Amino acid sequence: MALTGSAMAEVQLAQTPPLGWNSFDSYSCSLYEERALMEAHAFIEKFAPHGYEYYVIDNGWFSNPESVRKDGLLLPVNTHADPKDVEVNEYGIVQPSSLYFPNGFKELVDKLHANNLKFGVHLMRGIPRVAVERDLPIKGTNYTAKDIYTTVDDCTWCKYMHGVDMTKPGAQEFYNSVVNEFASWGVDFIKVDHVTHKPAEIEAYAKAIEQCGRPMILSLSAGGTSNVKYLDSYRMTNMVRTTPDIWDKQVSLEHSFGSMRKWQGLEQPGFWPDLDMIPFGELCILNRRDVKKKKPGKSEAQFAGHLHHWSYFTEPQKETFITQRAIAASPIMMGGSMLNLDEHSTKLLTHPEMLGCVNNGIHGKLYFEEDSIEAWHAPANNCDEYGFVAFQKGIEGWIGIFNRSDEKRTVELSGKLASVIKSGKYMLHDVWGEQTFEPWSKSAATKFEIEPNGAVFLKYKKTRRA
């Protein structure tokens, strides 16, 4: 049911960081109906009970690329379809692919909504090139695609779209028509790519959602171009990716640390800096080395250079990865397949203390940095008490201590490393180590061993006892 403008204004989305699944890390641009329904079932069974809500199909759902059937899978020959194979309606609005989703999205959307879950899609910024070539009309106007398109700063890595010149009449109406179409399908979440450097188009998508009559999360991607100078535009949305593409490599942990430093303190209810998806479990399922025959080796360009594999992260790296996101109050969007996720990854992604830290909604601050050890602190949200987040007033919160070296380290929770904890008696819980110290005080000088590139994730809470 569509909501009126006043009712839409009362809906407050993403008051805590969104939790969900995105298909890119496991299926890239080629998720198709059979696998989508299988993953939805796993999402409902394994993740929804822990508060995960958004099920998002990434890029390519509107394309019809050359594909082959092999080993029971529908495998793409190229990562991105030819722009001419993008499927649109008579108004140039992308439609579910007749190859990947021959029955549309209805069964999938109904399945999710019946379980009180939300459905989302990825969208490249702009207007389809095929709409411009055919000069299709813009719904509800006297303008056509050729009246509003621009080739300035066209995306070089995915050529489905041209940009939209927001100074042209009909430009906002085109974005309105796209979002209204999505609303009619029951879409609850739109992830727009190649847009974080385009404030005029960011605002156009936000305005389109505002007028559509359906509450929708707006998520911005292509984090390599994110810039805090566009913060006012970003805050018209709910999520902005702040990192380059994140994969299961040590360099991705380094990118995340860099992003945390830059974006700490810029979060607020309804808007969350996003450290990108979680590449745990089975990844790049449809990228098989022997699919391509036309040009040897070209298949390895798919999935950002990744072939089908299981996450390369060690367990300590995974613990660092998820602790970063908890301490940073980042949206948690699982990227690997949920069908056969390993036990350790499942534990990290569904741990109530990790989710509690995320839902706390406070991006931690870096407070200790010495000899490849750094520590971040996120107090339990005390904004109601003080009118702001008082980092030095907390008697409850979370600490992430990270070993950024390739050697095992022993750290002692005392002195500067314990400076964010006030005096008194506490419950101290080592989340990943599964041990609790109670009563605990700073004089205990508790020691922790941290594996190379690993982390200790601690919850502290003052007890009533003196």
May I ask the CATH architecture of the domain 5-360? Answer: Alpha-Beta Barrel (3.20)
Res. 239 pLDDT band, cuts 50 70 90: very high
* Global confidence as pTM: 0.94
**Quick one: fold of 365-462?**
Immunoglobulin-like (2.60.40)
Cβ neighbours, 10 Å, residue 416:
11
pLDDT digits 0-9 by tens, 391-445: 776 799 999 999 999 999 999 999 999 999 999 999 999 999 999 999 999 999 8
Q: What is the pLDDT of residue 389?
A: 72
> 304 or 264: whose pLDDT is higher?
264
Contacts with 59 (C-beta within 8 Å, 6 or more apart), sequence order: 24, 28, 29, 80, 122, 124, 158, 193
Closest CA to 148 of 167, 125, 129: 167
Q: What is the pLDDT of residue 5?
A: 55
Q: What is the residue type of 414?
A: S
- Whether 301 shows a pLDDT value over 50: the answer reads no
- Across 26-30, 199-203, 305-309, least confident range: 305-309
Q: What is the pLDDT of residue 225?
A: 85
Q: What is the pLDDT of residue 316?
A: 98
Q: What is the pLDDT of residue 198?
A: 96
- Whether 78 shows a pLDDT value over 50: the answer reads yes
Contact 289, 305 (CB under 8 A): no
SS3 159: coil
Tokens representing 202 are 């960011």
Average pLDDT over residues 140-162: 96
Cβ neighbours, 10 Å, residue 251:
10
Average pLDDT over residues 127-135: 98
Closest CA to 399 of 426, 417, 381, 372: 417
Res. 303 pLDDT band, cuts 50 70 90: very low
CA distances from 362 to 258, 261, 271, 328, 396 (A): 17, 14, 12, 7, 13
Say whether the peptide bond before residue 439 is cis (omega within 30 degrees of 0): yes
Contact 145, 127 (CB under 8 A): yes
Tokens representing 200 are 């005029």
Q: Where in the chain is the domain with CATH 2.60.40.1180?
A: 365-462
Q: Where in the chain is the domain with CATH 3.20.20.70?
A: 5-360
For 384, counting Cβ atoms within 10 Å of its Cβ (0-12 exposed, 13-18 middle, 19+ buried), the class is exposed
- Whether 120 shows a pLDDT value over 70: the answer reads yes
Contact 64, 77 (CB under 8 A): no
- Whether 367 shows a pLDDT value over 70: the answer reads yes
Q: What is the pLDDT of residue 296?
A: 37
In the chain, what is the greatest distance between 2 CA atoms, to the nearest angstrom? 76
pLDDT digits 0-9 by tens, 439-458: 999 999 899 999 999 999 99
Average pLDDT over residues 343-361: 98
Q: What is the pLDDT of residue 224?
A: 80
- Whether 2 shows a pLDDT value over 80: the answer reads no
